[in-house]
Amino acid sequence: MLPLRMAVSAAMLGLLLSRVHLSSLLPERRASTVPWLVVGLFVWAVAVALSVVRWHRVLHAIDRPAPIPTLASHTLAGLFVANFLPSTIGGDVLRVVRLSNDNGDAPTSFASVVLERLTGFVVLPMITLVTLALSPSLLRLGTASKLALGLSLTSLVALVAILAIAASPRLGGRLANHSNWPRFAGAVHLGIEQIRRRPAEAATVMVSSLAYQLTLVLAAFAGAQALGISIGLVPLLAFFPVVAIAQVLPISVGGLGLREGALVLLLAPLGVGAAKATALGLLLYGINLVVSLFGAPSFAMWSRNPRVMALAE
């Protein structure tokens, strides 16, 4: 499947790049370009820190607390690996494996990452829908508005279905006592039940998730300013979460091509040309790659661990 996803990324990027002059992807020489790039890198790093806090709060809510420094190491390593694997799933798998090596509880570690990701599918569409409701003019942008509404509502419906199945004692609950792979789904059920009984803990999880997603929007805004793209924060609040939702689809490598294509479709009605939108997507990928490099040493040291090498063999 990886070769197919690589082909999809290459095809989508090739299609986009064939329609623009490569020189137009570069930022204009302005005094504010470098400062905005620095701001983008810093804000993206803050977002990664907030994602660590979100994971920490989820683990605390399901009675499996872990130290923040440990979670930060796992998160950065996963972020690094995810740059070269389909969507963000590969990085999540690495986080599960590393955390389960620490606590000896693979099902709960799996549940913590799943629950953390599910909070994103609550927050992302809500950011878009609330922004569109407060800015009705953004609802009259044709395909962009329909795509934003469609993906947001679809993700919410899918989330409700997933939560209903996972929370059901007859479905998710029945799997909790299995000894094989179904116990992982059962652990998600137990995690949901624990969080439901702790509204205060659930609130801290959602607040940290909201802060994380909003910070990513701010990083995208900084990237847009670095490229000289004339776009306000409100349109990005409406449309950038949709890009994040689309990136989860495991049909490309690191979201390449998919992210840029979504930005072209969503930002075109706002006067952002295909070259600038593509450049923004590539810049954000680059920013994420630079920040994730801090996870490379952690991944390298962990992969050389004798226990890990024994498992690999």
Q: Considering the domain boundaries, does residue 3 fall inside one?
A: no
Predicted pLDDT at 299: 77
Mean pLDDT, to the nearest integer, of 47-57?
A: 97
Residue 2 has pLDDT above 90, yes or no: no
Mean pLDDT, to the nearest integer, of 40-52?
A: 97
Confidence label for 99 from pLDDT (cuts 50, 70 and 90): very high
Q: What percent of the chain has pLDDT over 70?
A: 86
Confidence label for 170 from pLDDT (cuts 50, 70 and 90): low
Predicted pLDDT at 308: 45
Question: 70 versus 176: which is more confidently predicted?
Answer: 70
Q: Considering the domain boundaries, does residue 12 fall inside one?
A: no
Mean pLDDT, to the nearest integer, of 137-165?
A: 91
244's tokens? 């994040």
Predicted pLDDT at 311: 37
pLDDT digits (tens, 9 = 90+) for 219-252: 999 999 999 999 999 999 999 999 999 887 777 7
Q: Considering the domain boundaries, does residue 116 fall inside one?
A: yes
Q: Structural domain of residue 164, as residue ranges?
A: 32-303
Q: Considering the domain boundaries, does residue 175 fall inside one?
A: yes
Q: Considering the domain boundaries, does residue 230 fall inside one?
A: yes
Q: Considering the domain boundaries, does residue 25 fall inside one?
A: no
Quote the pTM value: 0.88
If you average pLDDT over every residue of the chain, what do you get? Answer: 85
Mean pLDDT, to the nearest integer, of 42-53?
A: 97
Confidence label for 20 from pLDDT (cuts 50, 70 and 90): confident
Question: 252 versus 30: which is more confidently predicted?
Answer: 30
Residue 85 has pLDDT above 90, yes or no: no
Residue 146 has pLDDT above 90, yes or no: yes
Q: Considering the domain boundaries, does residue 293 fall inside one?
A: yes
155-169, 199-213, 296-310, range with greatest mean pLDDT: 199-213
Beta partners for 305?
none
- Point out the least confidently predicted range of 155-159, 205-209, 301-305: 301-305
pLDDT digits (tens, 9 = 90+) for 193-218: 888 888 999 999 999 999 999 999 99
CA atoms within 13 A on the CB side of 48: 26
- Point out the least confidently predicted range of 24-33, 37-46, 103-112: 24-33
Predicted pLDDT at 309: 38
**What domain count does the chain have?**
1
Q: Considering the domain boundaries, does residue 287 fall inside one?
A: yes
pLDDT digits (tens, 9 = 90+) for 3-19: 777 787 788 878 888 77
Predicted pLDDT at 163: 79
